[in-house]
Structure 1
Amino acid sequence: MIKKFIKRILGVKNKANSQQPQVLGPKEHGIDPTLLSANAVRVTQTLQEAGFKAFVVGGAVRDLLLGVKPKDFDVATNATPEQVKRLFRRAFIIGKRFQIVHVMFGQDLIEVTTFRGASSEGAPKDEHGRVLRDNTFGEQHEDAARRDFTINAMYYDPASQTVLDYHNGIADIRSRTLRIIGLPEARFREDPVRLLRVVRFAAKLGFVIDPDTREPIQVMAPLINNVPAARVFDEMLKLLMSGHALACLQQLRKEGLHHGLLPLLDVVLEQPLGEKFVTLALAGTDERVRQGKGVSPGFLFAALLWHQVLEKWNAYQAASEYPIPALHLAADDVLDAQTEKLALQRRIATDMRDIWAMQPRFERRTGKSPYKLLEHPRLRAGYDFLLLRCESGEIDPEIGEWWTAFIAADGPGRAELLTRKPKVEEESPAPKKRRRRGGRNKQKAAPAEGSST
């Protein structure tokens, strides 16, 4: 009794209190039921009718409380993965670190997780403390404590329209504060990806990071190097395609987390031309996301890494390499440097190479070259990339204007455009012939006209 009294006087929260959630009714939380996914409701209803507890949980509840329609819906339950799987026709158990169930309704996916128990001391960890596997199931209050941030640790029951709040998440939402649950150092160490999630949520939601949560971030940033590259890539993709990519990147730099994720990106952003190019690319991506348009990961990463490619491209040409082979060598170098940090999918890397390889071809505006480029399956992405280069001041805007007119023109119009002598050719002296490097096979293709150097 004396200990409890002292804790109460000092304002120390009784640990047992976190087992009893704050229960919020419809008038208190203000969630609009029409923003819910019908399939998420169907999953919770099916589980409840089978005698299990089931709630919409995590980011979906957070977004509902903010009056935003969630993109994804997760469900938490006391049913085991096997019990969940038996209740749905199309359900698949996945995951090694922690098993979850994907319930499919056409193309709609609802992710169902079993309440996680308190983290076991015996759970396999790496030498830095990162939890490798932990399939311990438990009670709802234990599951809430295992979640990363207070604003992501609330549970919504569509049947009763009540919200269960174990860690004062509703108060943090109202004060727009991002706060980690538990000791920040321990939580970041057990899963360093949370360092990136802090940045993404703070930038996306416009929340302030709680001082205790922020304090260890820079010191613990190197722990990200211990996370599998595929997980880092997935988190970076979420960050860059969140609709707040520019704000996220700025927040990454502010928290000192950008080093090593995209090698030399911090250097590029400190150079006026590179910073303008990346800023334009990210702003364009954010606008497309806000408009509900698709975004190509290949285009996005091609833009982020372009100035590293450009620097190496110039270096190879200065060493007497022909423009086209030099560009391919530069692309190889940059993509190889990324392999250790980001597990770029082969399809994305191929798209990046195509976009980069088209750039010198846009400067060939004679003969059949423009017509051949029109047939390229990635023309639109390459053309949009060209316009970014023009807008950032990297190359003459006249090139982009010419291609805009050429793409829009009919047959006679295109023929007429080809008779015009490009302005850059009129103003620039003829390029000097490059000296062939000794011992090289003769190049059959002539170097690109007016290639960027």
Structure 2
Amino acid sequence: MLGDKPGQHQSRTLQLQPVRIARDEHPVSRAQISKNALTVLYGLKKAGYQACLVGGGVRDLLVDIKPKDFDIATDALPEEVRKVFRNCRLIGRRFRLAHVHFGREIIEVATYRAAHDKAETSDQASTKDAQIVRDNVFGNRDEDALRRDFSINALYYDITDFSIIDYFGGFEDIAKRQLRMIGTPDQRYREDPVRLLRAVRLAAKLDFSIEKATAEPISQLGPLLDNVPRARLFEEMLKLFQSGHAQRSYEMLQQYDLTQHLLLWPVEVNPVDQNLVELA
């Protein structure tokens, strides 16, 4: 692990034991990764920071899907990322991010996040009705992995040796074609109710099953979506219905009784499909 630099954070108590999957044990190749994403990964590495491809980019490559985008996680603070790349812009208040621009392609860089109980001010983290409304407590890679939603999204492609760092058995879950929540599903859904929709979307997109404990609370917690800002629901709806798996997504929304929480008008007044179209 690279040594600390000013602004980099190390956990004093957290000790996870992730599995490191060597390059010859997984199919992900640099040839499959955007040249611009590689530029950012190597640029951060050269500047002395950790840098990993993470989330959907790694997951999709492992299931032989071409990623729509490539996201990077690092121990560099947003302001430090901007110092490394002149073509960088910082965005977001709820979730501070660095966007590195290469013409029409944007590489999103997120600083490792830590638990909210490490926040020193409300500007770093805040919640409302158990939901996270601000999320800017920075930490290290172990802490960041704990903050991710599903095991298959907590896989880190390490540019230093091209290995994949697996914290919660995501590599095995991909082999089993199952979606499994990290931590206690009920609590994680309450932290961010959009995860209810994300579970459906990813299962539909990847043709995965939803692991039993992960699936059980979904129908019961559907009403939490009623308090989610419409802009966030709109963004998730676009992903559900405009990414090539609309029919399967709709079937699963019905299966878990979520459609009623995505409607602008009561079902008895307008057909479900018309309401969904109106929202989208």
Aligned to 1:125: 127
Q: Which TM-score applies when normalising by structure 1?
A: 0.55
Alignment of 1:86-105 (within 5 A): 86-105=83-102
Alignment of 1:188-337 (within 5 A): 188-263=189-264, 305=277
Aligned to 2:139: 138
Among 28, 43, 49, the residue aligned to 1:52:
49
Aligned length: 263
Alignment of 1:355-394 (within 5 A): none
Aligned to 1:65: 62
Letter in 2 for 1:228: P
Per the TM alignment, residue 264 of structure 1 is displaced from its structure 2 partner at its CA by 5.8
Contact 1:120 1:134 in 2 (8 A): no
Contact 2:97 2:110 in 1 (8 A): yes
Per the TM alignment, residue 263 of structure 1 is displaced from its structure 2 partner at its CA by 4.1
1-structure distance, mates of 2:243, 2:173:
21
Per the TM alignment, residue 16 of structure 1 is displaced from its structure 2 partner at its CA by 6.3
Letter in 2 for 1:148: D
Residue aligned with 1:237, SS: helix
Distance of aligned partners of 1:61 and 1:226 in 2 relative to their CA distance in 1, 3 Å threshold: same
Aligned to 1:109: 106
Among 12, 29, 34, the residue aligned to 1:32:
29
- For structure 1, list consecutive stretches of 5 or more residues without a partner in the other structure: 1-14, 279-301, 306-337, 345-453
2-structure distance, mates of 1:207, 1:73:
21
Contact 1:36 1:69 in 2 (8 A): no
Aligned to 1:85: 82
Contact 2:126 2:135 in 1 (8 A): yes
1:290-325 Cα shifts (integer Å, max 9, x gaps):
xxxxxxxxxxxx7954xxxxxxxxxxxxxxxxxxxx
1-structure distance, mates of 2:227, 2:63:
34
Residue aligned with 1:124, SS: strand
Contact 1:144 1:166 in 2 (8 A): yes
Per the TM alignment, residue 64 of structure 1 is displaced from its structure 2 partner at its CA by 1.1
Aligned to 1:319: none
Per the TM alignment, residue 227 of structure 1 is displaced from its structure 2 partner at its CA by 1.0
1:216-243 Cα shifts (integer Å, max 9, x gaps):
1111111111111111100111111111
Q: Which TM-score applies when normalising by structure 2?
A: 0.88
Distance of aligned partners of 1:136 and 1:250 in 2 relative to their CA distance in 1, 3 Å threshold: same
Distance of aligned partners of 1:31 and 1:105 in 2 relative to their CA distance in 1, 3 Å threshold: same
Larger radius of gyration: 1
1:156 aligns with 2:153: no
Letter in 2 for 1:237: L
Residue aligned with 1:101, SS: strand
Residue aligned with 1:70, SS: coil
Per the TM alignment, residue 112 of structure 1 is displaced from its structure 2 partner at its CA by 0.1
Letter in 2 for 1:81: P
1:48-67 Cα shifts (integer Å, max 9, x gaps):
00000001000000011112
Residue aligned with 1:76, SS: strand
Contact 2:154 2:167 in 1 (8 A): yes
Higher strand share: 2
2-structure distance, mates of 1:216, 1:70:
29
Per the TM alignment, residue 266 of structure 1 is displaced from its structure 2 partner at its CA by 6.2
- For structure 2, list consecutive stretches of 5 or more residues without a partner in the other structure: 1-12, 120-124
2-structure distance, mates of 1:230, 1:61:
27
1-structure distance, mates of 2:25, 2:251:
35
Contact 1:31 1:67 in 2 (8 A): no
2-structure distance, mates of 1:255, 1:219:
9
State percent identity of aligned pairs.
47
Contact 2:177 2:207 in 1 (8 A): yes
Letter in 2 for 1:124: S
1:182 aligns with 2:179: no
Moved more, 208-217 or 89-98: 89-98
2-structure distance, mates of 1:189, 1:304:
24
Residue aligned with 1:111, SS: strand
Q: Relative contact order: is structure 1 or structure 2 higher (C-alpha 8 Å, sep ≥ 6)?
A: 2
